Amino acid sequence: MTKTPDSAVRSYIDQHEAEFLEDLSAWLRIPSVSADPGRAGEVRRSAEWLVAKLRETGFPVAEVWESDGLPAVFAEWPSGDASAPTVLVYGHHDVQPAAKEDGWATEPFEPTRIGRQLFARGAADDKGQVFFHTLGVRAHLAATGRTAPAVNLKLLIEGEEESGSPNFGALIRREAARLAADVVIISDTGMWAEDTPTVCTGMRGLADCEIDFYGPANDIHSGSFGGAVPNPADVAASLVAALHDADRRVAIPGFYDGIVELTEQERELFAELPFDEQQWLKVAKSGGTLGEAGYSTLERVWARPTAEVNGIWGGYTGPGQKTIVPAEAHVKLSFRLVAGQEVENVRKLVRDWVATRIPEGIRYDIAFPGATRPCLTPLDHPALQSTVRAMGRAFGQKILFTREGGSGPAADLQDVLGAPVLFLGISVPSDGWHSVNEKVELDLLRKGVETSAYLWGDLAENWQ
By CB under 8 A, the residues from 212 to 251 that bind its own copies are 215-218, 220-231, 233-234, 236-244
State the nearest-atom distance from the C-beta of 380 to its own copies, in Å: 26
Q: How far apart are CA 256 and CA 361, in angstroms?
A: 31
Residue with smaller CB distance to its own copies, 9 or 209: 209
Q: How far apart are CA 42 and CA 313, in angstroms?
A: 44
**Any contact of residue 284 with its own copies (CB under 8 A)?**
yes
**Any contact of residue 434 with its own copies (CB under 8 A)?**
no
**With contact defined as beta carbons under 8 Å apart, do 108 and 99 qualify?**
yes
Q: How far apart are CA 79 and CA 87, in angstroms?
A: 10
Residue with smaller CB distance to its own copies, 25 or 222: 222
Q: How far apart are CA 249 and CA 31, in angstroms?
A: 47
**Choice from 58, 78, 97, 291 touching its own copies (CB under 8 A):** 291
Q: How far apart are CA 6 and CA 70, in angstroms?
A: 39
**Any contact of residue 360 with its own copies (CB under 8 A)?**
yes
Q: How far apart are CA 307 and CA 292, in angstroms?
A: 11
C-alpha 120: how far from chain center: 22
Positive or negative torsion for Cα 20, 25, 28, 29 = negative
| Footprint on residues 254-283 left by its own copies (CB under 8 A) | 281
**Any contact of residue 301 with its own copies (CB under 8 A)?**
yes
Residue with smaller CB distance to its own copies, 35 or 312: 312
Residue 311: exposure state from Cβ atoms within 10 A (0-12, 13-18, ≥19):
exposed
DSSP string computed for 251-283 = -STTTTTT--PPPHHHHHHHHHS---HHHHHHH
| Footprint on residues 195-214 left by its own copies (CB under 8 A) | 204, 206, 208
**Choice from 329, 349, 413, 419 touching its own copies (CB under 8 A):** 329
**Number of residues in contact with its own copies under rule CB under 8 A:** 79
Question: Which stretches within 356-402 are classed as H helix?
Answer: 382-395
**Choice from 71, 128, 159, 315 touching its own copies (CB under 8 A):** 315
State the nearest-atom distance from the C-beta of 325 to its own copies, in Å: 7
The residues with which 152 forms a beta bridge, in sequence order, are 86
**With contact defined as beta carbons under 8 Å apart, do 118 and 442 qualify?**
yes
Residue with smaller CB distance to its own copies, 9 or 338: 338
Stretch that binds its own copies, among 38-46, 332-340, 388-396, 447-455 (CB under 8 A): 332-340
**Any contact of residue 322 with its own copies (CB under 8 A)?**
yes
The residues with which 328 forms a beta bridge, in sequence order, are 214
Residue with smaller CB distance to its own copies, 15 or 435: 435
**Choice from 326, 374, 420, 457 touching its own copies (CB under 8 A):** 326
Residue with smaller CB distance to its own copies, 265 or 289: 289
Residue with smaller CB distance to its own copies, 103 or 287: 287
**Choice from 41, 60, 254, 311 touching its own copies (CB under 8 A):** 311
State the nearest-atom distance from the C-beta of 410 to its own copies, in Å: 13
Residue with smaller CB distance to its own copies, 23 or 328: 328
**With contact defined as beta carbons under 8 Å apart, do 434 and 109 qualify?**
no
C-alpha 458: how far from chain center: 25
Residue with smaller CB distance to its own copies, 170 or 284: 284
- Mapped onto helix, strand or coil, the DSSP state of residue 316 is coil
State the nearest-atom distance from the C-beta of 33 to its own copies, in Å: 23
**Any contact of residue 341 with its own copies (CB under 8 A)?**
no
State the nearest-atom distance from the C-beta of 232 to its own copies, in Å: 9
* Sheet strands (E) in 180-278: 183-186, 198-203, 205-214, 220-221
The residues with which 184 forms a beta bridge, in sequence order, are 88, 421
**Choice from 38, 103, 145, 287 touching its own copies (CB under 8 A):** 287
**With contact defined as beta carbons under 8 Å apart, do 127 and 93 qualify?**
yes
**Choice from 41, 263, 268, 313 touching its own copies (CB under 8 A):** 313
**Any contact of residue 334 with its own copies (CB under 8 A)?**
yes
The residues with which 156 forms a beta bridge, in sequence order, are 74, 90
**With contact defined as beta carbons under 8 Å apart, do 187 and 136 qualify?**
no
C-alpha 67: how far from chain center: 22
**Choice from 166, 254, 369, 418 touching its own copies (CB under 8 A):** 369
State the nearest-atom distance from the C-beta of 351 to its own copies, in Å: 18
**Any contact of residue 351 with its own copies (CB under 8 A)?**
no
